[in-house]
Amino acid sequence: MRWKCKFKKQDNLLIENHLALYPHSLDINKVVRDDLDKCVAFLPYCAKPLGEHECPTSDKVNNRKNQKCIKVSGGKCDVPCSLGEMVDVLVKHGFKKDQIFIIDRDSNLFPWLQQKRKEGYEYFMPGTGCKYGVSYAIDYIGKKLGYKGCIAFVDDYCSQDKDNGVCKCMNDYLGMEGIDKGKRTKMHKETIILMDRILSGNYHNMVDVPHKSPNTNENPSST
Ligand code: SF4
């Protein structure tokens, strides 16, 4: 993962707030300025709320594992949800429903990305996942399909809840492809704030952005 994203060459402000560029040399301001209409975003179902709060699109059979989000469909949802907050940011910056994909499984995401590439989309902004998901996907999304973009990493919803946090190994991750195993992840507030700034074209002027996500036990650079 570390070498795929060249973490050593990444901006520390991005890394500390769970974001990385792919490739590391990507001129993100240029993308935002010239090509925002060529961007898609994907966000994982495991960042939908569970337990304390429940995603209204969950059902008894597949739980959270579907491509639905009320906000992506243009509706209102008041359930506290980091995925929904990221959707708010994307919609605010002009992303349309067909530019946002809630990943229920990689086997659905990859054909969608292939189709979007044929339609002329070139960037993921952001592509979101745990370090295992991103590591697994980047070869296909980056190398095979030729996408570039910004990666947002999910973290544990609660760092004390060791049993239900982000996937701890590749098998864990592949198990999530089959069923919703109840893992509770989230995007940090700082990640979302920073993504908002990036999409505003202000990547180099972020002096007031907090420099470190709190309660972090999953730094993407640790693998
Ligand atoms: S914002 Fe979307 S994903 Fe989050 S709880 Fe609401 S419907 Fe579910």
Domain ranges (residues) in the chain: 14-210
Ligand 1 atom nearest the C-alpha of 58 is 8
Nearest-angstrom CA–CA distance, 174 and 54: 24
Residue 83 Cβ < 6 Å to ligand 1: yes
The CB of 69 under 6 Å from ligand 1? The reply is yes
Residue of 55, 67, 102 best suited for mutating to test ligand 1, as the one with most atoms within 8 Å of CB: 55
* Contacting residues for 54 by C-beta, under 8 A, at least 6 apart: 79
pLDDT the model gives residue 210: 57
Which of 161 and 183 is assigned the larger pLDDT? Answer: 183
pTM of the entire structure? 0.89
Give the model's pLDDT for residue 164.
Answer: 81
Span from the CA of 51 to the centroid of ligand 1 (angstroms): 13
84 lines ligand 1 (CB under 6 A): yes
Percent of the chain with pLDDT over 90: 61
Regarding the beta carbon of 49 and ligand 1, being less than 6 Å apart is answered yes
- The answer to whether residues 90 and 192 touch, using CB atoms and an 8 Å cutoff, is no
91 lines ligand 1 (CB under 6 A): no
Sequence-separated (6 or more) residues with CB below 8 Å from residue 65: 45, 104, 105, 179, 180
The per-residue pLDDT for 222 is 47
Q: Phi/psi at 2 (nearest 5 deg)?
A: -60, -45
- pLDDT at position 46 is 93
- Ligand 1: residue of 77, 102, 180 to mutate (most ligand atoms within 8 A of CB) is 77
In the chain, the percentage of residues whose pLDDT exceeds 70 is: 89
Specify the pLDDT at position 32: 95
Q: What pLDDT does residue 84 have?
A: 98
Residue-level pLDDT at 211? 56
Please give the distance, rounded to the nearest whole angstrom, from the Cα atom of residue 8 to the centre of ligand 1: 34
